[in-house]
Structure 1
């Protein structure tokens, strides 16, 4: 029924036509010819990457647009500062609408007031719920409820970006961006990631399970699309451009968002980012490190032109970061001020900068031992999260600044952790019983600079007690069967396509049990709706039958939303949408049941 309306629900084609109709209206009013991401340019015909095509031959830079963030009222945006004359493409759009309430009404306040009140909310359903494990400072607890399936979340819709001058006159072609629909990916989608939902946060619950007396509610409607697909439309802003107008077909005929634009002729830094990790402690003559050795590493961050983003020997303090004094774009952990949670709540804006070591490579596996918050307050800058005796693999991590300053400064501000100097060096200590092989050292982070918001990571290998390199035996893959055309692992998440360099950072935390990669992978793919294969078909990701045999609450209930009454009686009710239960969720339930999964093909 292409181009028609069935049962009152606009079809995919009709919505695209509506978006193009808006552009045609703008064009007919004297605006420049529209640019759409599906256009075939001469560069595409010759096999070139269209992102290399831009004014003056400059490589287009991924641009992030934000509305309703940085403490601004709903519908408002901070000025978007960009380099003058630079070519861009739209890589990310974040729109947030928020209302406060003093009674539990779900997210009905969003239906009554604000810019999302006019949207089609039919079909809305609460689909998940999760309490925060960490109590608030006043002894209360926080609960989050997650809502989906409203028509505006599921139906195909289109954004149009229009550059204008100070009088609202167009200064360039409208850019049409199809964000697709919620329940399936389409070749015509312009973004790899699409997440539209509503969230209710209750901030004053009596306990993790009792919010009956709560009076502090926040309702959020969120639109997140990011990671432009291959062939994104490049554009350059003219000197006269003073704003970008953001139109959305779900709000057609209502109004648009205005994002002020400020252009800089000679910014202090270039776009892009590179990271270097150097072992300052030299290895032995044969190139290996001895078990029990302490090895100091140094981090160097540079822009795309090779200019340092920080002085040698130091990084910005956390106070400098929170005060907006870090002009280079280096980012630190932000969840103290902007709450996040896996999949549902702007996890990409958390922006942690941290490092890990894990090995030996041939024994890589998930870390299942819980790292409690108290470990972040001790004297050690580095946290040991995996031991050979307990976890079968050695692993340590460190945040930047170190956790005893970063988290210690948040919980014990009188100690001045946020003002403490931050070094660009750190030291890992190998265990005395370190097994021979290759150990992986990784740094991951994010840079936000003049409209560009991109992840980065790098992994180096060191040899311990043996010159012979060893390889990880990953039980899953290949991810690129789905993660392609803009969704490559080198571009999404932490920008890390080396999956062996993940598990130390992703240990379960006492205040965030869903850390392990297996939990997040199961959860995200089971909730997405845009994962192309049947969820029960485990062989689409798992390579061996053995890799699905270790049963635990976290392995099973990060995907399944229920289990039989007999399991409830034996293992308790489901308490977490991520891991099923509490601290017991990573323990193997049994070695005699669930040796396979129906429909797994393994």
Structure 2
């Protein structure tokens, strides 16, 4: 059984477009506050008008974003299991089930809207023939929890290799084009039931009410996954080989149905004024005979314990307890530079992190954050940490990936191609952020009880270049049914008082990503103004290269109505569109050149040539693809 040892992060992103957006109406700015017809901010707590509701289930059991299964308590609910598999028991999952104890809590009387519906069925190490792609597909169609969907038209799609860690690869075959996958007129009936089974609230959501469902974004996917592989000896090598650092190869077949990020958060419903237990029932029009059940516990506002803290005049927590509210706000106090104006190369950057709810209450004491045990036990006021099991079993680690990264200067934040050496300062100097609790440390002896500090020191290099630097805080919270992700930059000057800014080579995201569909409302929660910070993490195959998944998401999206050969929509400079590589081009053109350069996928990324190499050096600079619309010279 493999215990978490590092982030095995996949390229997950949800920068996709609404089917109903007016592509060239940019009058609504990113992050507009309020609850108007085209503006929404989920981080504004109760002031946003409605709270986003996340519903997740694994093999018939509702789960929390921590991965813990939800008990049905005292409900008479024969359709819901008495015992569940526990995602956090390891990978591969042991077959044993046991009664769950976690609770999915909601606030009675509060307006909610459905922001995410994600359900999954999977089997591990059952289909263990490396060369058989038919049997996993047959299980999905004939035996999985989703066997009653319309599977006509199913085809074998992308066959993708991903680097998990040095020398260890994962091969995943996706299945595509089934009738249910390409349906666009199905609906989801959400009902809130009391303990007697009476419907107390109801709302119907359209499939088009959700922004993200793409497998490229880690959402809806049917796949056969083989992990722990050594590189193949040649293209289409039929013999699987165990990586040197692994004991075995693992086989996972899964069907995941996931729709997220509401395009219509104004379609809300009032959670009934009840106490005790209840059920949220979701009936998918494509599975009318198999509704999904999510046991809930009603927690009135008056019963919320005083586990948060008042914030003092300095913006940091006091020791005065108070009840928590909804939302997530990340703040940061930066120590003054030695000369009082800007930091110098070689100085330390000292800062204190304060994570708060949308009403300005601190979610932790002044000097420490909750432990991993408290997070897993729902005793962290909703604050979430990275959980490797959610990545390998649920196929999504982004829900609990909290930490920070220091980068700069902004003008040097260019895309990294084929090297782990960044052309700018980065702490840590890796694709992953500095986690508040590292996933490996969480499972070491005593790691569950460790409470991370809120105070951090990052030394600047002696040759730090002048300009504006950024501390990027990445946070996640799950509270009373509300699941939020966000990323906030905090800036400071090094070597000069004059601010600098991003290179400005890509942009225009606000053309479609505005109002309810703004980037600050999806996935990591980064504003369109700071979209160029994506590259400081997404620059290798472990977490996904931005040029790969950004192309893949948009080219495969039915909701992206633009000419998909028009590079000028996102590329602001000609130079940024003229650095083709296998990883960049494959997002739109999988299988380009066949197996001719397949070996590059398995080369050391620090030694060119590799999959990120510049194909323009050989062929494409002189003759860029004629079907592409490029920015002018």
TM > 0.5 fold call: yes
Among 157, 163, 181, the alignment partner of 2:192 is 163
In structure 1, the partner of 2:209 is 190
Task: For residue 442 of structure 1, give the secondary structure of its aligned residue in structure 2.
Answer: strand
Among 536, 539, 550, the alignment partner of 1:521 is 550
| In 2: Cα distance, 1:532 partner to 1:297 partner | 43
| In 2: Cα distance, 1:129 partner to 1:60 partner | 41
Q: Map Cα deviations across residues 547-601 of structure 1 (whole Å, 9 max, x no partner).
A: 1122322222233212236xx54x445748xx9x998222334435322332322
Alignment of structure 1 residues 37-436 onto 2, 5 Å: 59-68=49-58, 69=63, 70=67, 72=69, 79-100=103-124, 101-104=126-129, 105-134=135-164, 142-156=170-184, 157-172=186-201, 174-179=202-207, 189-195=208-214, 196-203=220-227, 217-230=251-264, 232-240=266-274, 242-252=278-288, 254-265=289-300, 266-268=303-305, 269-280=324-335, 282-285=336-339, 287-322=341-376, 324=377, 326-339=379-392, 345-346=395-396, 348-349=398-399, 351-368=400-417, 370-371=419-420, 386=422, 391=423, 393-397=424-428, 402=434, 406-409=438-441, 417=447, 419-436=449-466
Deviation at 1:204, TM superposition (A): 6.5
Deviation at 1:255, TM superposition (A): 2.7
What RMSD over aligned residues (CA atoms) do the two structures have, in Å? 3.5
The answer as to 2:524 corresponding to 1:505 is no
Deviation at 1:244, TM superposition (A): 1.3
In structure 2, the partner of 1:465 is 495
Deviation at 1:527, TM superposition (A): 3.1
Deviation at 1:193, TM superposition (A): 1.2
**Residues 330 and 475 of structure 2 are in contact (CA less than 8 Å); yes or no, is this contact kept in structure 1?**
no
Task: For residue 610 of structure 2, give the secondary structure of its aligned residue in structure 1.
Answer: helix
| In 2: Cα distance, 1:543 partner to 1:291 partner | 32
The answer as to 2:521 corresponding to 1:491 is yes
| In 2: Cα distance, 1:135 partner to 1:57 partner | 43
The answer as to 2:572 corresponding to 1:543 is yes
Structure 1 residues 84-93 or 360-369, which shifts more? Answer: 360-369
**Residues 163 and 244 of structure 1 are in contact (CA less than 8 Å); yes or no, is this contact kept in structure 2?**
yes
Deviation at 1:543, TM superposition (A): 1.4
| In 2: Cα distance, 1:121 partner to 1:493 partner | 29
| In 1: Cα distance, 2:39 partner to 2:116 partner | 19
The 1:420–1:308 alpha-carbon spacing in structure 2 relative to 1, beyond 3 Å, is same
The 1:211–1:346 alpha-carbon spacing in structure 2 relative to 1, beyond 3 Å, is farther
Task: For residue 472 of structure 1, give the secondary structure of its aligned residue in structure 2.
Answer: coil
The 1:71–1:407 alpha-carbon spacing in structure 2 relative to 1, beyond 3 Å, is closer
| In 1: Cα distance, 2:162 partner to 2:583 partner | 17
| In 2: Cα distance, 1:118 partner to 1:481 partner | 39
In structure 1, the partner of 2:14 is none
Q: Map Cα deviations across residues 176-225 of structure 1 (whole Å, 9 max, x no partner).
A: 1111xxxxxxxxx2111123321222357676665669995432211111
Alignment of structure 1 residues 564-575 onto 2, 5 Å: 564=593, 569=596, 571-573=597-599, 575=601
The 1:494–1:337 alpha-carbon spacing in structure 2 relative to 1, beyond 3 Å, is closer
**Residues 525 and 531 of structure 1 are in contact (CA less than 8 Å); yes or no, is this contact kept in structure 2?**
yes
Deviation at 1:246, TM superposition (A): 0.6
Deviation at 1:300, TM superposition (A): 0.6
**Residues 441 and 501 of structure 1 are in contact (CA less than 8 Å); yes or no, is this contact kept in structure 2?**
no
In structure 1, the partner of 2:610 is 584
Instruction: For structure 1, list consecutive stretches of 5 or more residues without a partner in the other structure.
Output: 1-42, 180-188, 372-384
| In 1: Cα distance, 2:625 partner to 2:498 partner | 38
| In 1: Cα distance, 2:490 partner to 2:165 partner | 38
The 1:57–1:143 alpha-carbon spacing in structure 2 relative to 1, beyond 3 Å, is closer
**Residues 562 and 574 of structure 1 are in contact (CA less than 8 Å); yes or no, is this contact kept in structure 2?**
no
In structure 2, the partner of 1:184 is none
| In 2: Cα distance, 1:397 partner to 1:169 partner | 53
| In 1: Cα distance, 2:53 partner to 2:80 partner | 19
The 1:502–1:197 alpha-carbon spacing in structure 2 relative to 1, beyond 3 Å, is closer
Alignment of structure 1 residues 23-34 onto 2, 5 Å: none
Instruction: For structure 2, list consecutive stretches of 5 or more residues without a partner in the other structure.
Output: 1-33, 71-78, 85-101, 130-134, 215-219, 242-247, 306-323
| In 1: Cα distance, 2:435 partner to 2:590 partner | 34
Q: TM-score, normalised by structure 2?
A: 0.72
| In 1: Cα distance, 2:204 partner to 2:198 partner | 18
**Residues 40 and 515 of structure 2 are in contact (CA less than 8 Å); yes or no, is this contact kept in structure 1?**
no
Q: Map Cα deviations across residues 280-339 of structure 1 (whole Å, 9 max, x no partner).
A: 2x11445111111111111110111211111112122334434x2533111111224442
Aligned pairs, number: 508
In structure 1, the partner of 2:467 is 437
Deviation at 1:111, TM superposition (A): 1.9
In structure 2, the partner of 1:379 is none
**Residues 302 and 309 of structure 1 are in contact (CA less than 8 Å); yes or no, is this contact kept in structure 2?**
yes
Structure 1 residues 96-105 or 545-554, which shifts more? Answer: 96-105
The 1:134–1:516 alpha-carbon spacing in structure 2 relative to 1, beyond 3 Å, is closer
Higher relative contact order (CA 8 A, sep 6+): 2
| In 2: Cα distance, 1:249 partner to 1:506 partner | 37
